[in-house]
A and B are shown apart, each in its own frame.
Chain A
Amino acid sequence: MKYVTEFRDSKAARALSEAIRRTVRRPWTVMEVCGGQTHAIVRFGLDALFPPDLTLVHGPGCPVCVTPVGLIDQAIHLASLPGVVFCSFGDMLRVPGSARDLFAAKAAGGDVRVVYSPLDALALAQAHPDRQVICFAVGFETTAPAFAAAVVQARRLGVKNFSLLVAHVLVPPAIGAILNAPGNRVQGFLAAGHVCTVMGCEEYDELVRRHRVPIVVTGFEPLDILEGVLLLVRQLEAGRAEVENQYARSVRRQGNPEAQAILREVFEPAPRAWRGIGEIPQSGLRLRHAYAEFDAVERFRGDVALVGEGGVEDAECRSGLVLQGLLKPPDCPAFGNRCTPERPLGAPMVSSEGACAAYFRYRRRTDSLQEVRHGE
């Protein structure tokens, strides 16, 4: 595939890896904010290309992982209502709520469907005018404009049986929260290239100014991530703190104005709880008053009220610390025994790029592999 394959070239990867090794002189801890980057790191085994002095922490950048339990409980409740078709991206179905996940709701008779796009959910609403189609609007700034466009289109077409359960979250407030956390170890960030494709780089200037951390806006292919890390350690070693754009083929400084406009037209910032972390001010989105008719929480007010907002997070789960880079998954007492990908206690064990699952699946075994090799 053009513009994919070229960015997976092994020769260039080795050259970048060497350049990183040559650059790093002191130990550094950096975070890739985005779950998509975590996924690529795991899938391509990129961590083997970094020098031992460089620690990469998997950040909270998986919108699936950070969706609070209370919202998942609401989703499960709505999905179980008769006459409702509940649409979601695939990776959301396995995330545990207080007691069950959406798969369990489906097994119990709920009509739960996996969609690829918000427009697929809208099409379902048009195809089933007698049903209420609710779509779980999960995702960061990258995904919110797509849901906004679907809502605008629904209004244009007069589709009355379409609504969103909004769980959108915003990245910069989360980075701010990590930097403000006592004991923060993260010294630099790879920012998510697709979030910045939509929002641009300016929000990150503010973070750099305030916290003096380097931030490199980075793409998702192996060479992107390696180059992003290289730019980041160059800044760190030189004592610089700037916003740099590695992913110039997609990210413009000002972002995508059309996407920002429709996002602002439909959504407004709101306080939002992050799973395991707690509430972060102005870190989420909600539908503006003018679009309240598309808000599933409004439309099903009575039903949602039954569920409440609390939601019980598993007391043992340390996902908050893990997502902030303050705890390595294996150091969680539940890791690998009471909490496994088959029976996850917390969201980071669910999605394949969740920090705990990635550790469970690869690192745990890789460590034992390496021990074997070293012993040879």
Chain B
Amino acid sequence: MCLAVPGRVLHIEEGPLLTATVSFGGVTKDVSLVLVPEATVGDYVIVHVGFAISKLDEQAAQRSLEAFAALSELGEPEESAP
């Protein structure tokens, strides 16, 4: 359920819906920031059906990726894919 995708806020319009232009790999869509009013230009937000539902915590994402990298390092020598 709940297909939601991270995109980057390019521009925010004032107004009751806080409509922002959000870029998803270059494609842009109008997204309402009413549910995430703290988001600012440059932030990544997670978007579901035209609404940002959270501001992506870039540090947390980085921590996850580092943990994955550490796990891969310590992982076994290159072996055939499962």
Contacts and interface: CB of A to CB of B under 8 A. Distances in A.
Interface of A: 1-4, 6-7, 9-12, 14-19, 34-36, 48-49, 61-63, 89, 116-120, 139-140, 142-143, 145-146, 149, 153, 156, 192, 194-195, 197-198, 220, 223, 227, 248-252, 256, 258-259, 262
A4 B36 contact: no
Nearest to A51: B82
Given A19-B71, A143-B48, A62 B35 contact: no
Given A2-B6, A248-B57, A248-B60, A256 B36 contact: yes
A219 B49 CA distance: 17
A14 B82 contact: yes
B12 interface: no
Contact of B54 (A12, A36, A140, A197): A197
A62 B37 CA distance: 28
Nearest to B53: A197
Interface in B28-82: 32, 34-37, 44, 46, 48-51, 53-54, 56-58, 60-61, 63-65, 68-69, 71-72, 74-76, 81-82
Interface size class of B (residues with CB under 8 A): 35 or more
B6 A194 contact: no
Contacts of B61: 3, 249
Interface of B: 1-6, 8, 16-17, 24-25, 32, 34-37, 44, 46, 48-51, 53-54, 56-58, 60-61, 63-65, 68-69, 71-72, 74-76, 81-82
Q: Which of B46, B53, B68, B75 has the most CB of A within 10 A?
A: B53
A262 B37 CA distance: 13
The SS class assigned to the A binding surface is helix
Given A149-B32, A223-B68, A194 B46 contact: yes
A142 to B, nearest CB: 4
A119 B1 contact: no
Given A18-B76, A145-B51, A62 B44 contact: no
B53 A259 contact: yes
Nearest to B33: A258
Contacts of A63: 1
Contacts of A1: 5-6, 24-25
B53 A142 contact: yes
A45 B48 CA distance: 24
A5 to B, nearest CB: 9
A94 B8 CA distance: 33
Contact of B2 (A14, A17, A49, A143): A143
A11 B73 CA distance: 9
Contacts of A15: 68, 71-72, 74-75
A36 B3 CA distance: 6
Contacts of A7: 64-65
Contact of A49 (B24, B34, B82): B82
B16 A61 contact: no
Given A2-B8, A9-B68, A49-B82, A149 B1 contact: no
Q: Which of A2, A89, A197 has the most CB of B within 10 A?
A: A2
B35 A149 contact: yes
A145 B32 CA distance: 12
Contacts of B50: 116-120, 146
The 6 A-B pairs of least Cβ separation, nearest first, read A117-B50, A142-B2, A194-B2, A12-B68, A15-B75, A249-B61
Contacts of A119: 17, 32, 50
